[in-house]
Structures are given as structure tokens and as C-alpha cells.
Structure 1
Amino acid sequence: MKDILKYLKTLDEIMNKNKDYLIELDSVVGDGDLGLTMSDGYAAAYNAVKDTEETDIGKVLYTAGKSMANAVPSTMGTLMASGLMQAAKALRGVNEMTNETWLQFFNAYEEGVMNRGKAKVGEKTFLDGLHPAIEVIKENIESSLPDISKRAAEAADTGFHNTTTMKAVHGRAATRGEASIALEDPGAYVAKLLMEAFYSIAK
């Protein structure tokens, strides 16, 4: 349980630290509120559970996700909350995080975002930062958690930078058509931060 609480705390901190950069990124392709949405959303998620005595990780994640959804009901806030709530379903009854349960967590997070947003990998979204990291976790599941998380963070960073080869399909960026290809996707940067937080607590 302490690992997931530490992860949520680190997400709160890392989103706040990167708030201005997310605003800067999003102001190019969106409405510029991503930094506030992510910092406020993950703060709400962590604050809702930081003093919990609950030992069921799934229940804790559900509370965190529900609080985030209520705090930031924007598109990206809803997507990230959906990820947490799908992970809550996957980890119901789990009391300890292992390599396998971290993989379950991120797989379910991706599933929740995909189900809610109807996006696919390759469409220049959050998924293009998250999915490569998940593949790396699968490939290295027998390694140590510090090694897995380091490789996952590197893969997410590469995925973020690779969004400059993709044409936007969703959101305001899609209205730019071919001109959207050269732009970095702010959602994929959020995925990169999720993996940076994972590495931070595992190393």
C-alpha cells in the first residue's frame, strides 16, 4: 500500500513542478490549461487518500480517481481519472505492489484512457508516451524494479519526442492538419511524467 501512496504523492509533486512547462506546451496546441488541470487533479487524488487506513489498493485508487474526476472535469482530467479508476478495478483486493501488479496498474490505466477517449496509439496523444513504456515493462518484467522503471521512463521520453512524427487526430491540434505533425504532444508529456514518477519511487 505504501508504494501506491508514495506514487500518488510523487505524481502530485512532479505535476506541480512541471505545471508551467505543461501550460507552455499546451498553449501551442490546446487552450493552455493542462498544467493547472494536472497539478490540481493529481493534488486532489493524493489528498483524498494520503491519510487513509484502507489496505485495499483498488479501493484507494478508486477514491483517488473519483476525487480527481470531481476536481478537474475537463477532457484531460477526465481521461486521467478514468485511468485511475480502471486501475482501481484491476487491483481490487491487492495489498502490495510487485512488478506484476505495476504492469497491471499501467495496463489498466491505458485501458481506462483508451475506453474514455476513444484514441489509439499513433494518433498523437497521451497513449504515445504511455504505451512504449508499458511494452518495455512487459519485456523486462523479470528485472529489478529500479531497472524496469528506468527503462520505462526512457521509453516514455522517446515516445513523447516521437509525437513530432505524428499527425494529430484528436482535440484542437487536429484542426492544424499536416501542420500538427511537427508539434510535441502535451498529453504524451504527461505520460512521460507518470513514468518519471514511477522511476523516482523505484530507484
Structure 2
Amino acid sequence: MTFDAACGKQWMIAMNKTVQEKKDVLTELDQAVGDGDHGLNMARGFQEVVNKIDANEYEDLGSFFSEVGMTLISTVGGASGPLYGTAFIKLAAQLKGRKQADLPVLAAAFSAALEGIKARGRAEAGDKTMVDVWEPIVTHLLKRGELLQVEELTRLAQEKLEETKNLHAKKGRAAYLGKRSIGHLDPGAASSVYLFTAFADVLKGEIDNEQS
């Protein structure tokens, strides 16, 4: 399986579609623990990403993901823009000059993206943030490589999202709630599930095309 800028476009289009459909869900989750703006911020940001990438062609994955990252940083408010933007800029740095990437290369790039998120947000797994979805997904990608079954990604992401309900928030506005944050899903973890589900759908499409 190879992933190129055309796959990247499909991924962002799929992510945007989901975010537009689920923005009220994200808003509701964020109203419980934060500012209540995560849904609108993500919807605005990924719509602008799709607008930008639709109008351009990209020489390599690095230039593509750099555009995605910079667009998110400039259009998404709150903590989400810098965190998601950093993730895509780290992806860009790892994939600079590559027209295509296989799963092991993508896994290594996602690992760099995760480290960028953790450094930017000063968060670790267990803090009730998007890291609680990203870290197990990245670990799984690194472990499985070309043996990955894409259904494993969506299942794992959803499982890890559900686990955030029982966590005590230690970062962001949710941390001000203290133990009252327990019992709520983390909105950043939820949007991360949408991101990896969209990624898995694109991978599945590419694998199916290669096998047909």
C-alpha cells in the first residue's frame, strides 16, 4: 500500500465531511468540559483545509501536509489549532521530498507528529487529551506496519476514546473541573477518532484498489 498526496486529499475531504456532520457532537462534548467551541473550530478549520488543497497540486507529501498544518494553525481557534497544526507540520517534516509513503514510513511520521502534540500541549497519555487516542494508534501502527488490518485502527481509536470518560483531566480547561471531569469524553480525543477513522477509510480504499 502506498500513500500519496492524492490520498492525503481524500483523507482531508473525508475528515471534513465527518467534522461537518459531527460538529454539534463535538460542541456538546466540549460544553461539558471546556469552552464549547471545539466543533465550530474544527469545522471551520477543516473546511478551509479542503478549500486550500482543492485549489492546489502538490509535488510531495511534505508540501501537502505543510499546507494542511499551516491552514489549521491560522484558522482554528483555541488549543486545537496549534495541536493539530503541529501534528501535520511534523508529518510534513518527516515526509518532505517523498511523493509516496508506505505504512512503516507513515507510522514513523505519525510518531513524530505525536511527539509534537505532546511537546506542544505538555500532555502525556492518561491526561484526558487527544494523546489518549493518538499514542495507542501510533504504537499500533509502528508495531503492525504492512501487516495492519485497517479495521483495527477504527476499533482501537473508539476503544481509547471511551476510556477517556473515566480519566481525570490534567490539561486544558477541563483540568479546572478536577474530578468533575470524570464521566465525560474528551472532545479532542473524539475529533482524533474522526481523523483516524477517515485515514483508515482511505487506506482501505487503496488496499482494495491494489487487490482488485
Q: Give me the TM-score of the superposition, normalised by structure 1.
A: 0.92
Partner of 1:157: 158
How far residue 16 of structure 1 moved from its aligned partner, in angstroms, is: 1.1
1:115-134 equivalences in 2 (<5 Å): 115-134=119-138
Moved over 6 A (4+): none
How far residue 79 of structure 1 moved from its aligned partner, in angstroms, is: 0.9
Report the RMSD for the aligned CA atoms in angstroms: 1.4
Q: Check the 8 A contact 2:29/2:184 in 1, yes or no.
A: no
Give % identity: 28
Counterpart-to-counterpart distance in 2, 1:37 and 1:101: 30
Higher mean alpha-carbon deviation, 11-20 vs 101-110, is at 101-110
How far residue 64 of structure 1 moved from its aligned partner, in angstroms, is: 1.6
Q: Check the 8 A contact 1:110/1:127 in 2, yes or no.
A: yes
1:1-20 equivalences in 2 (<5 Å): 1-20=5-24
1:119-143 deviations in Å (ceiling 9; x for gaps): 1111000010111111221222131
Q: Check the 8 A contact 2:108/2:142 in 1, yes or no.
A: no
Partner of 2:181: 180
1:36-70 deviations in Å (ceiling 9; x for gaps): 11111112222222232222110111112111111
Q: Kindly provide the amino acid, as one letter, of the partner of residue 78 in structure 2.
A: S
Selected match of 1:74 from 64, 71, 78: 78
5+ long unaligned stretches in structure 2: 205-212
Partner of 1:190: 191
Selected match of 2:95 from 85, 91, 103: 91
Q: Give me the TM-score of the superposition, normalised by structure 2.
A: 0.89
Q: Kindly provide the amino acid, as one letter, of the partner of residue 6 in structure 2.
A: K
